[in-house]
Structure 1
Amino acid sequence: MILKRVSAIAISMLMAVSMAGCGAKAPSNEGEGASVATNGEGTIKIGLITPKTGSVAQYGIAVDNATALAVKEINEAGGINGREIELISYDNKGDATESINLFNRLVDNDEIVALLGPVISSNALAIGPLADEKGIPMITPTGTSLDITPGYDYVYRACYTDPYQGSIMAKFANENLKVKTASILYNTGSDYSVGLAEAFKETFEAAGGTITNYEGYTADDKEFKAVLTNIKAGSPEVLFIPDYYNTVGLIAGQVKEVGLDTIMLGGDGWDGVQENYGELVEGSYFVNHYAADDTAEIVKNFVDNYTEMFEGTRPNAFAALGYDATKILAAAIEKAGTEDKAAIKDAIAATDMDCVTGHVTFDENGDPQKSVTILKMKDGVSVLETKVQ
Structure 2
Amino acid sequence: MPIGGNLDVAKEILRGVAQAQDEINRSGGINGKLLQVAIANDDNDPNLAQQVASQFVKDSRILAVVGHNASNASIAAAPTYQQGELVMISPTSFAQNLSGIGSYVFRTVPNIGSQAEQLAAYTLKTARKTNIAICADSKSIDNQSFRDELVKNITAGGGKINPTNCDLSAANFNSTVMMSQLISSGADSLVLAPYIGRINKALELAAANQGKLTLFASPTLYTFQTLKEGKGDINGMVITVPWHPTAIPNNPFSQNAAKLWGGTVNWRTATAYDATTAITKGLQQSNNREELQKVLHSPSFSVNGATGQIAFQPSGDIKGKAILVKVQPKSNSATGYDFAPL
Measured against the shorter chain, the TM-score band is 0.7 to 0.9
- Judging changes above 3 Å, is the alpha-carbon distance between structure 1 residues 332 and 213 closer, same or farther for their aligned structure 2 residues? same
How far is the alpha carbon of 1:216 from its aligned partner? 1.6
Aligned-residue offset at 1:71: 0.8
Shift of 1:238: 2.8
- Give the TM-score normalised by the residue count of structure 1: 0.75
- Structure 2 match to 1:3: none
Distance 1:344 1:252 in 2: 45
Partner SS state of residue 232, structure 2: coil
Q: Which amino acid aligns with 1:182?
A: I
Name the structure where strand makes up a greater proportion of residues. 1
| Distance (Å, rounded) in 2 between the aligned partners of 1:361 and 1:178 | 36
Work out whether 1:247 is the aligned partner of 2:201. yes
Give me the whole-angstrom Cα distance separating, in 2, the residues matched to 1:280 and 1:86. Answer: 42
Q: Per the alignment, do residues 82 and 189 of structure 1 end up closer, same or farther by CA in structure 2, a change over 3 Å counting?
A: closer
The alignment of Structure 1 onto Structure 2 pairs a total of residues equal to 327
Q: Does 1:296 align with 2:253?
A: no
| CA–CA separation in structure 2 for the residues paired with 1:233 and 1:92 | 41
- 8 Å Cα contact 1:307-1:313 kept in structure 2: yes
- The one-letter amino acid paired with 1:371 is K
1:99 to 2:49 alignment: yes
**Cα RMSD for the two superposed structures:** 2.6
Matches within 5 A, 1:177-326: 177-219=127-169, 220-243=171-194, 245-256=199-210, 260=212, 262-272=213-223, 273-294=226-247, 296-298=249-251, 301-310=252-261, 312=262, 314-326=264-276
Change (3 A) 1:111 1:92: same
Post-superposition offset of 1:181: 3.6
Distance across 1 between alignment mates of 2:126 and 2:319: 21
**What TM-score, normalized to structure 2?**
0.85
Show CA shifts across 1:38-82 (max 9, x none): xxxxxxxxxxxx233x12232223222321111110111122333
Segments of 5+ residues of structure 1 without an aligned counterpart are 1-49
Question: Match of 2:32, SS?
Answer: coil
Return closer, same or farther for 1:358/1:168 CA change in 2, 3 Å cut-off.
farther
Equivalent pair of 2:254/2:306 in contact (CA under 8 Å): no
Q: Tell me by how many angstroms 1:96 deviates.
A: 3.6
Q: 2:294 aligns with which of 346, 352, 367?
A: 346
CA contact (8 A) 1:265 1:285 kept: yes
Would the alpha carbon gap of residues 95 and 249 (structure 1) be closer, same or farther in structure 2, given more than 3 Å must change?
A: closer
Tell me how far 1:271 sits from its aligned partner: 1.4
Alignment of 1:381 onto 2:334: no
Q: Which structure: larger Rg?
A: 1
- Distance change >3 Å, CA 149–CA 294, structure 1 → 2: closer
Match of 1:24? none
Deviation, structure 1 residue 152: 0.6
